[in-house]
């Protein structure tokens, strides 16, 4: 199993540290919005940063990239359609991020919606999805359309169910409160609330999730389920004829949910 460790940053970000398959001292990080916590983790365990994987251009995901490259010379991989703060290897769907020094390789998925050029990295039974999907939630549509975001989430849902999901933020409990509003009768959501609450109370992350779990509890992956559709239609006050219309209504609802 891929050795992945969370590095907490800012209020609720996770920077994911991936240890190499050949030598665990050789590592990559995903979405380092802040260089400081990464540098502290490297120094504490005597690690060598070989690569940086960026999913999208937002500052809380790439703000630490330049400092880390200056300090370590790490190679940077990022979305072809978005600007990065340093020279990088541009990637798009169908490409592969090859990390030979770590003995690892990841498939690249185009997953627009949160941003126009957002990408995700999939490999070794792990998905690094940035801000496209959160546990029990999905990212806001800052640059993309509902059609794009639903297609991106559908791509995630098609991955093997045992795939571990490493998201960019610790939003799980807030997302579950909304999921309960959408599907109050979903016993899987009720069970996940209890487990996630216990994890956070003990200071542990709720992540990684799995594709299998998300398909049971994430309303944004469940736009085609009748319970979710009916809930969205009650809020909209009209029939919603397509999964995209259901998704758009749920996303609009979440934008103002408190």
Q: Are 90 and 54 in contact (CB under 8 A)?
A: no
Q: Which of 26, 34, 56, 118 is catalytic?
A: 56
Q: Which of 26, 61, 110, 118 is catalytic?
A: 61
Q: Which of 31, 58, 110, 118 is catalytic?
A: 58
- Give, to the nearest 10 degrees, the angle between helix 172-182 and helix 243-255: 120
Residue 114 known to be catalytic: yes
Residue 188 known to be catalytic: no
By three-state DSSP, how is residue 112 classified?
coil
Q: Which of 60, 124, 154, 188 is catalytic?
A: 60
Instruction: Please write down the long-range contacts of 239-244, taking CB distance under 8 Å and 24 or more positions apart.
Output: 243/150, 244/146, 244/147, 244/150
d(CA 78, CA 52): 8
Residue 169 known to be catalytic: yes
Q: Which of 34, 110, 114, 118 is catalytic?
A: 114
Q: Per-residue b/e over 185-223, b at no fewer than 16 CB within 10 Å?
A: ebeebeebbeebeebeeeeebbbbbbbebbebbbbbbbb
Q: Which of 31, 34, 110, 131 is catalytic?
A: 131
Residue 225 known to be catalytic: no
Active-site residues, by number, are 56, 58, 60-61, 114, 131, 169
């Amino acid at each position: 199993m891929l050795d992945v460790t969370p590095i907490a940053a800012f209020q609720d970000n996770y920077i994911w540290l991936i240890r190499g398959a050949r030598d665990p001292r050789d590592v990559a990080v995903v979405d380092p919005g802040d260089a400081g916590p990464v540098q502290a983790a490297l120094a504490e365990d005597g690690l060598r940063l070989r690569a940086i994987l960026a999913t999208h251009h937002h500052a809380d995901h790439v703000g630490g990239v330049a400092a880390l490259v200056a300090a370590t010379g790490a190679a940077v991989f990022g979305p072809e359609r978005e600007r990065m703060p340093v020279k990088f290897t541009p990637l798009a769907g169908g490409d592969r991020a090859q990390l030979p020094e770590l003995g690892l390789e990841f498939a690249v998925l185009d997953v627009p919606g949160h941003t126009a050029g957002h990408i995700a990295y999939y490999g070794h039974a792990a998905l690094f999805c940035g801000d496209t999907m959160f546990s029990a939630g999905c990212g806001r549509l800052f640059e993309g359309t509902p059609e794009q975001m639903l297609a991106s989430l559908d791509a995630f849902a098609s991955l093997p169910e045992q795939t571990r999901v490493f998201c960019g933020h610790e939003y799980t409990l807030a997302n579950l409160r909304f999921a309960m509003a959408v599907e109050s009768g979903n016993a899987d959501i009720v069970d996940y609330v209890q487990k996630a609450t216990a994890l956070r109370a003990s200071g542990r992350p709720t992540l990684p999730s799995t594709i299998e779990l998300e398909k049971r509890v994430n309303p944004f992956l469940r736009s085609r389920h009748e319970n979710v559709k009916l809930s969205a239609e009650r809020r909209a006050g009209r029939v919603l004829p397509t999964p995209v219309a259901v998704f758009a209504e749920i996303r609009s609802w979440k934008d103002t949910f408190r």
